[in-house]
Each structure stands twice: as structure tokens, then as C-alpha cells.
Chain A
């Protein structure tokens, strides 16, 4: 290891894959270096010094040395053990998994994504602390993650011509609500409270978001999932397992 270039960064573990006998490839979203795939040597052994720290949804202070194809973890210190709290509750786990999978899909390796890192950190912290309903937290994260990726949906003004809202029709390929002149066939007509809820999720108005009726939350969740799928072109597998029956205002 003498002469190997070392680096250190804060990171959130997105997912892990088994490698060989006792190693893991760990995909992390780092604060300054974007998404990284690093090798955790021996982390599956019960005596591993940092096996528990390199579990999904953990925020760690990571030190790695650069390798030819994959970097290797030399040290990992826990900053926030969110994964531990999330794993103990199945609803938190499914919502957290969908957040991690989305972060993995929306970020690129070695391309700094600090804004997304901070968004994910905030979402996982709130999830671990159960600040809000897990389903609503997930929808807030997904809406804002799409906005960071450049696909911010419009929930008030017309996404096509910019005409001032509110408008009733919601058309995913057009990018959100559309006015009666721009409305295309196939546009949905969600309840006004659904659009109000979605706008609140995007801006972080939790007083409105938490007070929304469960049926409107579920309708909003469907629109968010469809909007996400449209832009990612492939569905987020974890979303299928998120239990929306508990989504309550």
C-alpha cells in the first residue's frame, strides 16, 4: 500500500454485492466524489472491523486507496447509523430501499453529486427518526431527486406554455400540470388536494404534506412513481414493495 493514492470522503452506502469468499463490493454516494464502487475486504466475516459500518443506509467517513479498477476501503467510521434503525422496521426498510435504489440510478460514478448526497442524507435521517410517514417521506425524496436531476415537475403553472395555474390536468410526458389549451389525450385529472400535496412535497411544506388525506397521498404516490419511471425508462424495483396502506395524513 506504500505510495498508493489515498482519499477520504463522507459517504452513504447505497448497496452491496458479495465478492469472493468474504469481501463485498460496496456502492456508495460520496459527498465530494459522486458515486463510487469500492471493495470492502473481509467485511462479511463476523470479526470484520467495519462490516456493520458498510451496510446500506449507513453514513460513514470513508478512507480508500485507489486501485486499477475498484478502490479498496482501508478505514470506515460511522457518522450516522441510519441503516440500523431502518432495518428494524419493515415499512422504513422498503421506503429506504427505494430511496437508495433511486439514488443509485440517478447518479453517475465519479461525477460529484453533492446536492443529491445532502438530499439523501436528509431523507434517511428523517426516515430513521420517523419524522413523517415513510411513504410520504419517500415521495418527497423522489420528487426532489427528480428536480435535482433536472426533471422538476410543475404542479401549479402549465408545464408546456407556462400559463399561471392552478390547472387540473397532469400529463407526465409534458412535465406536470398542463392548461386546458395544452392538454393532451391521456392526461390524468387528479384531485386538487393531490396536486397541493405534491407541490408541498417538492417545496418541503410539511404542514400541508402531513395533513393530506391518505387516499390523496396514495394517488400522489402513483403519480410520482409513474413520473419517475417515465424519466428513468426502467422502473425502480424497490417501489413495488413499499406498503402504501399506512400512508396517512
Chain B
């Protein structure tokens, strides 16, 4: 235990995800020994991000204004919406450069064990977007785990009423660069289920 502000800093850093007491202590002492200018830059960045960044009113992604960069871009295809759990998933899909449509961030996945039901997520906002009639395809890109799959199943059921909208789910299967023999049964089973015709 340290005294006063040093312990306060360690406690605050320890509240960050993935930072344990030892890491918090290491980070705190790094900051103590760092140049004042470096520390000021860090505090300014943290203050600025809290002041400027909010969630896009349309898609729920992080944005510096009322709407995000992707929703503001007229070159994006408005007929396709990719539904993801978190803003960081938008970045992951963007890195592929395969998708030129827009996004919808749910804000998580349905998890009854954590008390997160459909009402806690941005399903109503998605329905409002679809009501405009512009959207032709909804790509469900929730995580391929139990909560993500169940959220996809719930969303697919919800979207049944939009007969003109094609609902697709990201394929699950073998990771590129991996060995088939090490694949687990569930992943390999899904890879078989979603196999492609080559000829």
C-alpha cells in the first residue's frame, strides 16, 4: 500500500479492464517517472475523448459528432446493413475491405445470465432503420459464441416480418492458416454446413 495520490492512481488504473493490481502499480510508476509533457498528452487525450466522442445517433458506432464517419459517407451502400455487437467489431469488418455498406451496433449480445435481454440492446433502432425501405440485406455479424448465435437467432426471428429484406449470417469455419486435424467438432461441423460449390 502506498500513500495518498500514488495509491489513488494505482486504484484507478486497477479498475481498467485487464489491469490487475501488479500491472496497475507498474503503470503508475511508469507515469511517475515519465516526462511531464508525455503525461499531459495522455491526460489531454483522455479528457478530449470523453468530451468529444459519443455514440452515432443512427448506427450506435463511436462518433465525434451526432453521426459517425460511415453514416456520413455518401459513397457507402445504404441497401446493406451489417449488424455487430460492439464498435470494435466495425473496425474488424472494415479491415477486411470486403464490405461497403453501413453498420448497426447493438451494444452487446443477449445474455440472460448477465441480465441482458433484447430490451437492453438497440433492436428497436434497427427496426426503425429498416422501416425506411431502403435496406435490402441485413448481415448478422455477431460473435460466433453462444450469446452471439442466440442473438443472431433472435434477430432473424425479428426480421421475418420484413419479407423484402434478405437476412444473412457471417459464415463460420476453419481459420486460414490452420490445420484441419486441430479443428474442434463444432467449427468443423459449421464449415461443412456452409461449404461452397467450386464447380
| Residues on A facing B (Cβ under 8 Å) | 15, 20-21, 46-47, 49-53, 55-57, 78, 81, 83-84, 86-90, 93-94, 97-98, 100-101, 237-238, 240-241
> What separation, in Å, do the CA atoms of A57 and B113 have in the docked complex?
12
| Cβ contacts A to B, 27 pairs, < 8 Å | A20-B18, A46-B175, A47-B175, A49-B182, A53-B184, A55-B145, A55-B186, A57-B146, A78-B184, A78-B186, A81-B185, A81-B186, A84-B149, A84-B186, A84-B189, A86-B146, A87-B150, A87-B153, A88-B150, A93-B110, A93-B112, A98-B112, A101-B112, A101-B113, A237-B114, A238-B112, A240-B117
Q: Give Cα A56–Cα B112 distance, bound, in whole angstroms.
A: 12
**CB–CB A93/B153 < 8 A:** yes
Known pairs A46-B175, A237-B113; A78 contacts B153 (CB<8 A): no
Q: B residues touching A (Cβ–Cβ < 8 Å)?
A: 18, 110-115, 117, 145-146, 149-150, 153-154, 157, 175, 177-178, 182, 184-187, 189
- CB of B178 within 8 A of CB of A87, answer no
Query: Which one, B18, B112, B149, B185, contacts A78 given CB within 8 A?
Result: B185
Given contacts A47-B178, A78-B185, A241 and B146 within 8 Å (CB-CB): no
Closest to A14 in B: B113
Asked if residues A90 and B154 are in contact (CB atoms below 8 Å), the reply is yes
Which residues of A lie under 8 Å from residue B157 when comparing CB positions? 90
Contacts of A86 in B (CB 8 A): 146, 150
Known: A47-B175, A90-B154. A97 touches B186 (CB 8 A): no
Q: How far is the CB of A147 from chain B (nearest CB, A)?
A: 23
Cβ A15 vs Cβ B113 within 8 A: yes
Query: How many angstroms from the CA of A139 to the CA of B177 in the assembled complex?
Result: 46
Our pick among A52, A53, A93, A237 for the contact of B150 (Cβ within 8 Å) is: A93
Interface pair A90/B150, CB less than 8 Å apart: yes
Q: With the chains together, A84 CA to B110 CA distance in Å?
A: 16
Contact B18 A83, beta carbon cutoff 8 Å: no
In the complex, A94→B178 CA distance in Å?
34
With most chain A CB atoms within 10 A of its CB, the pick from B117, B146, B149, B150 is B146
Contacts of A238 in B (CB 8 A): 112-113
| A93: B residues at CB distance < 8 A | 110, 112, 146, 150, 153
Q: Which of A15, A53, A94, A101 contacts B186 (CB 8 A)?
A: A53
B185 partner residues in chain A, CB cutoff 8 A: 52-53, 78, 81
Of B113, B117, B146, which one neighbours A83 at CB under 8 angstroms? B146
Q: How many Å lie between the Cα of A98 and that of B112 in the bound state?
A: 8
Besides the known contacts A20-B18, A87-B149, 19 further A-B residue pairs in the complex with CB atoms under 8 A apart = A47-B175, A47-B178, A51-B184, A52-B184, A53-B184, A56-B113, A78-B186, A81-B186, A87-B153, A88-B149, A89-B153, A93-B153, A97-B112, A237-B112, A237-B113, A238-B113, A240-B115, A241-B110, A241-B117
**Known contacts A20-B18, A81-B186, A84-B186; is A100 also within 8 Å of B153 by CB?**
no
- Chain B residue nearest in CB terms to A46: B175
When distances are taken between beta carbons in the complex, the residues of chain B under 8 Å from A51 are 184
CB-nearest residue of chain B relative to A48?
B184
Nearest Cβ distance between residue B17 and chain A, in whole angstroms? Answer: 8
Chain B positions within 8 Å of A47 at CB level: 175, 177-178
A221 CA to B113 CA, complexed, in Å: 19
Complex: how many Å from CA A88 to CA B150? 6
Chain B nearest CB from A96 CB (Å) reads 9
CB < 8 Å neighbour of A50 from B115, B153, B154, B184: B184
**Whole-angstrom CA separation of A133 from B149 in the bound complex:** 21
Determine if B113 and A100 form an interchain contact, defined as CB atoms under 8 angstroms apart: yes
